[in-house]
Amino acid sequence: MDLTKEDEGLEPVSPLGQYFNSKVMSVSILGILESEIPIDGSQAKSLIKDVFLPINPRFSSIMVMGKKGGKKWRKVEVKVENHVHVPSFSSPKGSSSSSENDSFLKSYIAEIAMQPFQQGQPLWEIHIINCPASEAQGTVIFKLHHALGDGYSLVGALLSCLQRADDPSLPVTFPSVNNFSSANKDDGKIVLRKVVSRCFLPLVNTIRDFGRSVLKSTCVEDDLSPIRCRSESFRPFSLSTITFSLHHIKEIKSRLRVTVNDVVTGIIFLATRLYMQRVSPNSNGSTNSTALVLLNTRNLRDYKSVGEMIQPNSKSPWGNYFAFLHVPVPKVKPGNSQFSDPSKFVRKTHEVIKRKRSSFGVVLTGMLLEMMKKCRNPEAVARHIYRTTRNSSMVISNVMGPMEKLSLANHPIKGMYFTIVGTPESLQVTMISYAENLRVVVRAEQGFIDSELYTRSLHDALDMILHDACGKQ
């Protein structure tokens, strides 16, 4: 569809938005809210029209092709009934157990994740499931195309539809980014070390990180392993979740003098090695496995509201502002089958991520993608991103959530989580904090990875690191 002259002033689709909605890949974010009570769907349409759609014009827009080849957002009239789905479920005997409903919910999520969006209407859907499961009495699923924005933007949009359960008149608060992303400063550094660290090491790290990024996106692949089978197509997945106490995470953080993100990523890496050994007992733990860790590239210190994100020249703008960090999964030395130093996974993760943050490899990679788009086309860049994820073993992403319990139209929210769909990796782990808990989601390729076993490995990994670092379980 070509733009007419009066359409030329419309907002262009961001480069990442074009890459994620291409012939090569179509990436979406599924946000799941768990209600403590059965859901009254009678208010759904009015809430969508009055609260959800006004959040951002993109929720009322479709992608169209411009005269010069670039895609733009065109405003359209939204038919809400085409975007809201209320499936029915009943067991053969007329009564259902929570385990049956859990299976139905997981199967339903996997099914809608594989279904493409209709390009002639705005790229979002809402699914209301009113069957009691083990975690909730009702479930609301938001399926939002990644072209609309990244996790920071879209989760912020969802949270703007909610109110605090204790007092709706009070604002929702979020953890400071400093608490999640800034480690304690080291004392006693000598002047020479400061000079080397600030001048020489960033240059070396930049060259190394950028070179490895290019190789990992083109010709160098991770080893085949129990978490990577190198699928050539998007395959069905299974979903499982586990909840960690942020109190335990923060205890480890304080004891090891690292960040919350370092602790969580270290737990994931230890769990990954535990899982690989349990699936393949003869494995020596030396498999070359890399995780793509999603990094928010916004210049911010605290979470910003959607209203602030959409302001002109905002320091935390709406859209897709993130990059991939290639972080190797620490190896286990031969004979160390008992994982005698579990805290090593956290310390090693801290060292690697701190070094990568001090380089400009991410900036150079972004410049490379922009050059590819100009010299070739967005489809070529999409293929490059596809190869980047396919050549790696797993993807890790996390989002800060609210510190208080929330409600949606007087429905108390017991829990929330999200996952990313439409990417080719066999294993993905996503996390969001909510009211002093951390919800961890394992999206695993069905028939290849045992998501329940991996989730148990996550539990054991936290237990091992907590015991090793803090002397408790």
pLDDT for the residue numbered 232: 66
Residues 415-442: what's their mean pLDDT?
94
Express the helix, strand and coil content of the chain in percent, nearest 5 each.
40, 20, 40
Residue 354 lies in a domain: no
Q: How far is CA 346 from CA 264, 271, 324, in A?
A: 8, 12, 19
Q: What is the DSSP letter of 32?
A: E
Q: Is the dihedral of CA 406, 408, 412, 418 positive or negative?
A: negative
Tens of pLDDT, residue by residue over 199-255, are: 566 677 777 777 777 777 777 889 999 999 877 667 889 999 999 999 999 999 999
d(Cα 306, Cα 187) in Å, to the nearest integer?
A: 38
In a domain, 153, yes or no: yes
Question: Structural domain of residue 80, as residue ranges?
Answer: 5-164
Half-sphere exposure at residue 152, Cβ-oriented, CA atoms within 13 angstroms: 23
Tell whether 394 is covered by a domain.
Answer: no
- Does residue 295 lie in a domain region? no
DSSP assignments along 217-270, one per residue:
TTT--PPPBTTB---SS---EEEEEEEEEHHHHHHHHHHHT--HHHHHHHHHHH
CATH at 103: 3.30.559.10
> pLDDT-based confidence at 473, cuts 50/70/90?
low
Query: For residue 152, is it within any domain?
Result: yes
Within a domain: 50: yes
Main-chain dihedrals φ then ψ at residue 186, nearest 5 degrees: -80, 145
> Exposure of 167 by Cβ count < 10 A (0-12 exposed, 13-18 middle, 19+ buried)?
exposed
**Global pTM?**
0.87
The answer as to whether 91 is a domain residue is yes
Evaluate whether residue 173 is within a structural domain: no
Q: What is the Cα–Cα distance from 455 to 431, expressed in whole angstroms?
A: 13
pLDDT digits (tens, 9 = 90+) for 126-185: 999 988 888 899 999 999 999 888 877 777 777 778 899 999 988 888 776 555 554 444
Q: What is the predicted pLDDT for the residue at 405?
A: 93
Provide the number of structural domains found in the chain: 1
CA–CA separation, 432 and 261 (whole Å): 11
Which secondary-structure segment (H or E) carries 408? strand 406-408
Give the DSSP H/E element, type plus range, for residue 102: helix 98-114
Nearest to 22 by CA among 367, 373, 428, 383: 383
